Structure 1
Amino acid sequence: MGRGPFPGVCRSYGRDMSRSPSSPGFWRSPLRGAWFTSVLGLVLLAGVTVLFVTGLLSYAAYNPDLSPVNDKTPDKGLLGFYLFAWPTDPHWLYRLTQGVHVTLGITLVPVLLAKLWSVIPRLFALPPARSLTHALERLSLLLLVGGALFEFVTGVLNVQLDYLFPGSFYRLHFYGAWVFIAAFVAHAVLKTPAALRNVRRLGREPDELTAPRPDPPTVSRRGALGFVGGGSLLLFATTAGQGFDGPLRRTALLAPHGGGEPGSGPNAFQINKTAALAGIDAAETGEDAWRLVVVGRTGTIRLSRADLLRLPLHSSSLPIACVEGWSTSDQWWRGVRLRDLAARVGHEGDPPDVFVESLQRHGSFRRAALRANQVADPRSLLALYVNGEELSPDHGYPARIIVPAAPGVLNTKWVARLTFGDL
């Protein structure tokens, strides 16, 4: 009588519930626990903070509030409160910040996946909300998990596959970062004290993430952390070389432009767009056809490449660094200073901003704007030579921009027109 009229049905119901993800008995891994989750969370706390800061710096490097052509997120509103005029010193600044952003993002992928795996029982816990506070916590967790996956997936797609996600990468990644970081900060404020306590306890006591009926262990929690760390180290080793020349670049198996140097000779350093992909017609860049149009306060002048070569030429040793995270070492550029070209059209002493237009027909950043501090820097050139030889077609022949600390896409190739003055 005490067992009820339908004991078989009850046993079957109990077994079915244990097969449901909402049942604690469904999750049997002996690795899950607050200590394991907390260690991963603290690693992500440090790593994601660096990712967010370097991501904001990368956006600022484009000087998006200077000109609409630089601004790929025109509706940012208050989210652009921190923007500032991007400096030209140190000349390797963008190479460092964006290299760290991309390399660290890829390195943290195993940590993020392990962290999500460690807390997945909480995503299925019932009831969905026990109180208003609990409902808000679950909502922040949804935004945190969704935002993390969105940011990492779109970032990796942009780096590895030249971005195959629908919509503008710049806009989606920028807004996604703010949604994610808001949830991340809220989660960190609530959970960091508990995470630190859990780490100090070394996982000696059962907790809400511990499986009630765990399977036999095949590896310790420290062993699992070592496995995650090994995965991150492997990704780091196959990505970080994209920021170096020579043999180290060949180790960047998972990074864009990470193979051997393209071609040979003085122009044998990385590019992100060939002349063919940009739609450059060789007939337009010939000595008889190409003219640089320079516009300023006193009017318009047109200069052939031979005219430019008769002007005072200067040299700069500067790298190329791309938003995808790859960069080159310093290359030796030679050409005409941008501030000298500004002076020839009436802007002497205090050169203004400049609007640069390219012969490029396909792809983004056919036009770009540079700030006055970039124009005024004596290392900023309209380059005609690199490493002692003429620019190759893929490196922007007959002339290209090179500016210290600027993202690669602002170092416009195949320059056709420079307009100095208010943008």
Structure 2
Amino acid sequence: MARTPLSPSSPFSPFSPAFWRSPLRGPWLTSVLGVVLLGGITVLFLTGLVSYAAYNPNLSPVNDKTPDKGILGFYLFSWPTSPHWLYRLNQGVHVTLGITLIPVLLAKLWSVVPKLFTLPPARSLAHALERISLLLLVGGALFEFVTGVLNVQLDYVFPGSFYPLHFYGAWVFFAAFVVHAVLKTPMALRNLRRLREESSELVSPNPAEPTVSRRGALWFVGGGSLLLFGTTVGQNFDGPLRRTALLAPHGGAEPGSGPAAFQINKTAAYAGIREADTNEEAWRLVVVGRDGRTARLSRADLLAMPLHSAALPIACVEGWSTSDQWWRGVRLRDLAALVGYDADPPDVLVESLQRRGAFRRAALRANQVADSRSLLALFVNGEDLTPDHGYPARIIVPAAPGVLNTKWVARMTFGDL
């Protein structure tokens, strides 16, 4: 027997206002959540743009993961090297805040879900444009938060590269967010000043008995955000706080003991590094410079050069970071001088021995090469690098994202890229 479709006016149809019976929904709750997201998402967008700039994506085609960005890359600049904790702070804020806002975003979407089923779908051209922007807003928010969380967990189940997906998705989402904020912020501020709910399509015409107050619901959402904050933020610190980062892949687990006991993203085994490639008999660093001038250096040759030390952290796009580690090695600008760049060293292309994973080739700007703290590191915390930390030699540059601090370096080519 065929089942009769529900009428939109039926209380059992989601298209009927009577279907949505929660007494919590209303302009005041939606406005409070909206104001929190207005500030939080603005900070997320700005720190996301800064994080993208830190990759020096204009070093094409090596670092550029979004080759068709066009005018969306209008703000890009050579990433600075000071303060040395700049990327650590920016990415820590970006990831921690994004995870903390998840309960607020879900509560906001729950509070306005009846509007997604409003009939007719478009009462006018202006209303149709508002509904389209709402779909872009909701879809963009879910896409950005979901891909961001998956990236933090190193779970790349989505098709394509995370970088262009997240970059373009952010622009689409934020454009819809700005339109929505311009239209709704004045109304939201008026709603916050009201002490009672007035007639609104968000207010149920047939509310159920309340089991919690609206302020109680806000405390519940805030508690969820606080819980996520407390189980994420520790990945930016060392000591006891790091053990609280239960939701971060490089958080709660202790990395062991000894001078090299700090977090890594990829092990030597994962990257396909073989001991036969890195032993002192086999490994040579190839440095190429002006007019094809080339130097082939063993580790003993590098140790014979002037060695320098710098205290620098490792900070990755997933939000985790370490405190300053003591690195010792040869300055990048001294390697540039070996192949003809005695003054004003240029950009450099760095190539790794690794066989698997992204950023097997990465480029650094001239200002990063020239910084006296930028090293081809041979030691960390007074000991040789371990295989997992990049033995026999790795790049370490102040304020750079972790993936640009190339491990298992095999070749460096100085010159305009």
| TM-score, scaled relative to structure 2 | 0.97
Q: Secondary structure in 2 aligned to 1:103?
A: helix
Deviates more, 1:376-385 or 1:75-84: 75-84
Q: Which residue matches 2:354?
A: 360
Give the one of 281, 295, 300 matched to 2:294: 300
Structure 2 CA distance for partners of 1:15 and 1:350, relative to 1, 3 Å: closer
Q: Which residue matches 2:339?
A: 345
**What residue ranges of structure 2 are gaps of 5+ in the alignment?**
none
Cα offset for 1:126?
0.1
Cα offset for 1:74?
1.1
* Cα distance in 1, alignment partners of residues 309 and 8 from structure 2: 77
Contact 2:8 2:14 in 1 (8 A): no
The alignment covers a number of residue pairs equal to 412
Q: Which residue matches 2:411?
A: 417
> Once superposed, what is the RMSD of the aligned Cα atoms?
1.3
Contact 1:103 1:236 in 2 (8 A): yes
* Cα distance in 2, alignment partners of residues 224 and 102 from structure 1: 25
- Is 2:179 the partner of 1:178? no
- Is 2:147 the partner of 1:151? no
Alignment deviations for residues 93-148 of structure 1 (CA, whole Å, 9 cap, x no partner): 00011111111110000000000000000000000000000000000001000000
Structure 2 CA distance for partners of 1:115 and 1:353, relative to 1, 3 Å: same
* Cα distance in 1, alignment partners of residues 347 and 154 from structure 2: 34
Cα offset for 1:16?
6.6
Structure 2 CA distance for partners of 1:385 and 1:13, relative to 1, 3 Å: closer
Q: Secondary structure in 2 aligned to 1:17?
A: coil
Give the one of 305, 309, 312 matched to 1:311: 305
Matches of residues 23-422 of structure 1 in structure 2 within 5 Å? 23-297=16-290, 299-422=293-416
Q: Secondary structure in 2 aligned to 1:18?
A: coil
* Cα distance in 1, alignment partners of residues 93 and 304 from structure 2: 41
Paired amino acid for 2:352: S
Contact 1:36 1:203 in 2 (8 A): no
Structure 2 CA distance for partners of 1:275 and 1:225, relative to 1, 3 Å: same
Alignment deviations for residues 45-89 of structure 1 (CA, whole Å, 9 cap, x no partner): 000000000111111100011131211111111111111110001
| TM-score, scaled relative to structure 1 | 0.96
* Cα distance in 2, alignment partners of residues 414 and 200 from structure 1: 60
Alignment deviations for residues 287-336 of structure 1 (CA, whole Å, 9 cap, x no partner): 11111111111610111101110110000000000010000000000000
Deviates more, 1:125-134 or 1:74-83: 74-83
* Cα distance in 1, alignment partners of residues 323 and 254 from structure 2: 12
* Cα distance in 2, alignment partners of residues 18 and 196 from structure 1: 32
Contact 2:8 2:15 in 1 (8 A): no
Cα offset for 1:207?
2.6
Structure 2 CA distance for partners of 1:191 and 1:281, relative to 1, 3 Å: same
* Cα distance in 2, alignment partners of residues 288 and 221 from structure 1: 70
Contact 1:246 1:261 in 2 (8 A): no
Q: Secondary structure in 2 aligned to 1:207?
A: coil
Q: Secondary structure in 2 aligned to 1:106?
A: helix
Paired amino acid for 2:335: L
Deviates more, 1:200-209 or 1:247-256: 200-209
* Cα distance in 2, alignment partners of residues 90 and 21 from structure 1: 53
Cα offset for 1:22?
1.1
Runs of 4 or more, structure 1, over 6 Å off, are 12-16
Give the one of 11, 14, 18 matched to 1:21: 14
Cα offset for 1:379?
0.2
Contact 1:246 1:260 in 2 (8 A): no
Alignment deviations for residues 246-286 of structure 1 (CA, whole Å, 9 cap, x no partner): 21111000112112331210000000000000000101111
**What residue ranges of structure 1 are gaps of 5+ in the alignment?**
1-11
Contact 2:137 2:173 in 1 (8 A): yes
